[in-house]
């Protein structure tokens, strides 16, 4: 299978490329910030919004997997300028596209958010929602199959965003673990390799054509459960430091997950598990693997 990956050098995309390259011919287009040398893939350096680059492209591919479409027009610029044929386009979106304020777990048929919120987060949500519509329209014009994947909070090796890695760094280097005493929020983690395996299951899979899937286990996580999983994984001495959320912010401790019930948004991953057998490891096992990976970085 010939796969064209757009993005693919950072975190989720990188782990997918590592998986896909074991069995398929993979070409990666990105700006070359992080090298994929040694993974057995072909790399092409370009800004994805460079239309001249895509006009020079004449190869056929079975699947495009797009990890870095963020703004309206990102998909159209690719498909309107590429000369080669593509059977399936897989867009990596996000569970954040769902309408805010609705009760219950959000399923794939839950309405998407149409409001535009301020700030970077608002622009990110608006961009992903617009791109999902753009995907349907552009693929529809070409008779091209498409699939949308909406991951929840990704974690695991190569995640250098200040999330779980920041807490592991504090444990390994500073020998402390902040415990947030007043956090009541809930969220859903998905281990990055599980998410990558889900993408692999969608490749040229007719059951995935024209479908959207949430990538998340049913397991709900809190700050306490997250920290308990880290404590079980730890093999260094550390002191547990109780902090309120306000105190943590004052001390520069990252608070990357929802702090309150009002901020919490939960999702159903039943469709992917039922239709395509998406599987997820436990939080305890996933965090143990993550701890081991980052301990090597921070030691």
pLDDT tens by residue, 82-110: 999 999 999 999 999 999 988 899 999 99
Tell me the HSE value of 56 on the side-chain side, using a 13 A CA sphere: 7
Q: Is 57 helix (H, G, I), strand (E, B) or coil?
A: coil
Q: What is the pLDDT of residues 101-134, one digit of tens each?
A: 888 999 999 999 999 999 998 999 999 999 999 9
pLDDT band at 54 (very low <50, low <70, confident <90, very high): very high
Instruction: Inform me whether the pLDDT recorded for 29 exceeds 80.
Output: yes
CA dist., res. 281 & res. 27, Å (int): 29
> What pLDDT is recorded for position 238?
97
Q: What is the pLDDT of residues 237-265, one digit of tens each?
A: 999 999 999 999 999 999 999 999 999 99
What is the pLDDT averaged over residues 125-150? 97
Q: Is the pTM of this model over 0.85?
A: yes
> What pLDDT is recorded for position 32?
77
Task: List, in order, residues 6 or more apart from 108 with CB less than 8 Å away.
Answer: 150, 211, 212, 213, 214, 271
What is the pLDDT averaged over residues 161-188? 96
Largest Cα separation within the chain, whole Å, is: 59
> What pLDDT is recorded for position 33?
78
C-alpha radius of gyration, the chain, whole number: 20
Give all strands (DSSP E) within the chain, no chain letters. 2-6, 25-30, 42-45, 61-66, 86-92, 145-151, 153-155, 176-180, 189-191, 211-215, 239-243
pLDDT band at 160 (very low <50, low <70, confident <90, very high): confident
> What pLDDT is recorded for position 5?
97
- The residue with greater pLDDT, 33 or 3, is 3
Give all strands (DSSP E) within 7-144, no chain letters. 25-30, 42-45, 61-66, 86-92
Please answer whether residues 6 and 78 qualify as being in contact, where contact means their C-beta atoms are separated by less than 8 angstroms.
yes
Instruction: Inform me whether the pLDDT recorded for 271 exceeds 90.
Output: yes
What is the pLDDT averaged over residues 17-25? 96
> What pLDDT is recorded for position 25?
97
> What pLDDT is recorded for position 14?
95
What is the pLDDT averaged over residues 46-53? 92
Instruction: Inform me whether the pLDDT recorded for 37 exceeds 90.
Output: no
Please answer whether residues 142 and 79 qualify as being in contact, where contact means their C-beta atoms are separated by less than 8 angstroms.
yes
What is the pLDDT averaged over residues 16-37? 90
Tell me the HSE value of 24 on the side-chain side, using a 13 A CA sphere: 20
> What pLDDT is recorded for position 101?
86
Tell the burial category of 231 from Cβ atoms under 10 Å away from its Cβ (0-12, 13-18, 19+).
middle
47 is written with which tokens?
């800004």
Q: CA dist 44 to 54, 89, 203, Å? A: 11, 19, 22
């Amino acid at each position: 299978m010939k796969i064209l990956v757009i993005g693919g050098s950072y975190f989720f995309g990188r782990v997918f490329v590592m998986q896909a390259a074991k069995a398929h011919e993979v070409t990666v287009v990105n700006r070359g910030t992080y090298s994929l040398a040694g993974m057995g893939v072909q790399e092409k350096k370009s800004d994805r919004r460079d239309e001249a680059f895509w006009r020079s492209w004449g190869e056929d591919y079975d699947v495009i997997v797009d990890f870095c479409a963020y703004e309206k027009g990102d998909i159209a610029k690719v498909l309107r300028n590429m000369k080669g044929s593509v059977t399936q386009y897989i867009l990596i979106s996000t569970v954040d596209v769902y309408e805010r304020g609705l009760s219950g777990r959000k399923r794939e048929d839950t309405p998407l958010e149409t409001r535009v919120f301020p700030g970077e987060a608002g622009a990110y949500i608006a961009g992903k929602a617009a791109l999902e519509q753009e995907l349907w329209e552009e693929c529809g014009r070409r008779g091209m199959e498409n699939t949308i994947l909406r991951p929840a909070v990704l974690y695991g090796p190569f995640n250098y965003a200040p999330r779980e890695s920041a807490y592991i760094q504090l444990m390994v280097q500073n020998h402390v673990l902040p415990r947030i005493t007043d956090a009541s929020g809930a969220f859903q983690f998905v281990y990055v390799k599980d998410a990558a395996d889900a993408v692999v299951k969608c490749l040229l899979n007719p059951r995935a054509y024209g479908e959207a899937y949430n990538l998340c286990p049913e397991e709900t996580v809190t700050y306490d459960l997250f920290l308990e999983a880290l404590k079980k994984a730890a093999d260094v001495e550390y002191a547990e430091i109780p902090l309120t959320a306000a105190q943590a912010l004052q001390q520069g401790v990252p608070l990357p997950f929802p702090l309150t019930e009002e901020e919490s948004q939960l999702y159903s991953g039943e469709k992917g598990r039922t239709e395509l057998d998406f599987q997820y490891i436990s939080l305890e096992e996933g965090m143990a693997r993550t701890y081991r990976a980052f301990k090597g970085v921070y030691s």
